[in-house]
A = this chain, B = another copy of it.
Amino acid sequence: MYRKEIKVLDCTVRDGGLQNKWQFSDKFVKAVYNACVEAGVDYMEIGYKSSESAYSKTENGPWKFCEEKDLRRIVGDNKTNLKLAAMADIGRIAFEDIPKKSDSLLDMIRVACYDYQVDKGIALAEHCMDKGYEVSLNLMAVSAISEMALDQALSDIAKSKIPIVYLVDSFGSMYSEQIHFLMTKYKKALPGKTIGFHGHNNMQLAFSNTIETIIEGANMLDGTFLGLGRGAGNCGTEQLLTFLKNPKYRVKPVFNAIQHEIIPLQKTLSWGYHIPYLITGYLNLHPSSAMKWMDSAERDDFMTFFENTIDSRKELE
């Protein structure tokens, strides 16, 4: 029933940190780490790898940088089956700020880029491979670019050494028909490479879209505990583990961490499905306007948000 090639990557701390600038307590990060280990999750993305020149270290917590001393404080020598990953954004990290794999607790670097940065993304990913890391390339915001631009980017990636390429639904705007269309395209354009999926829950479709990519052969699947993540959040790691018929995964440790660490966060952090996210999702817009609205005093006046958003679209036409 299950596919042994499937790997689950939990990015609770990395994607969730977008909501609080990675100001998590060590207790929280350790609880997520321990739950991932006990649950049999394959990879934990613990944050971003960024240069200190790109971001303030007072404004941003340690998981924006993933320094070795911070990693070691949480995971010790990480003598577990859980691999550690960090995301790297193009333009926010210099090659020389990435240590050799032999000097790092990180196992994988996931390079995130837009289509117009794909050459830089490939160069950074191949640089990380040369330093000894596993890598993936996560091509963002593909719902908002032309098919020609997407085909060109995929063609460039196909020629690279990068073994894992992510379909990313950055705006949470994809329906199952687009998932099947894009998965077919990615598989055809990227023979021999593993396809991953990272969804967002703007229209409450992050979990179902993940399932559709599994049906289409995606073997790297992202989730976060209770969907904690940017704006409307992500596919729940707990949802994914209940779906996968794989004896190596155990959902109970994730439920436990959700109860004791994630639910309490809801008092101070806001994420998850809400009407403004549905609006940007179905209009295929970046959720930044909805996130700003949800942080404002007017958050529940989504009629005004709807009208502003529709008006701003009309101005474009």
Contact = CB atoms under 8 A, between A and B. Distances in A.
A300 interface: yes
B255 A275 contact: yes
A149 interface: no
Contact of A278 (B215, B239, B256, B301): B239
A300 B211 CA distance: 27
A238 interface: yes
A92 interface: no
Nearest to A206: B204
A207 B204 contact: yes
Interface in A268-296: 275, 278, 282
Contact of A306 (B203, B255, B306): B255
B303 A256 contact: yes
Contact of A211 (B176, B211, B275, B301): B176
Contacts of A306: 252, 255
A259 B204 contact: no
A282 B242 contact: yes
A129 interface: no
A282 B243 contact: yes
A119 interface: no
Interface string A246-257: 000000100110
A144 interface: no
A238 B278 contact: yes
A310 to B, nearest CB: 9
Nearest to A209: B208
A54 to B, nearest CB: 35
Interface in A163-214: 175-177, 201, 203-209, 211-212
Nearest to A310: B252
A258 interface: yes
A259 B208 contact: no
Contact of A205 (B203, B208, B258, B282): B208
A176 B282 contact: no
Contacts of A278: 236, 238-239, 242
A309 to B, nearest CB: 11
Interface in A212-264: 212, 215, 226, 236, 238-239, 242-243, 252, 255-256, 258-259, 263
A302 interface: yes
B239 A258 contact: no
A301 B215 contact: no
A208 B203 CA distance: 9
Contacts of A212: 176
Interface of A: 175-177, 201, 203-209, 211-212, 215, 226, 236, 238-239, 242-243, 252, 255-256, 258-259, 263, 275, 278, 282, 300-303, 306
Given A255-B303, A255-B306, 8 more contacts: A176-B212, A176-B215, A208-B208, A238-B275, A243-B282, A255-B275, A258-B275, A259-B275
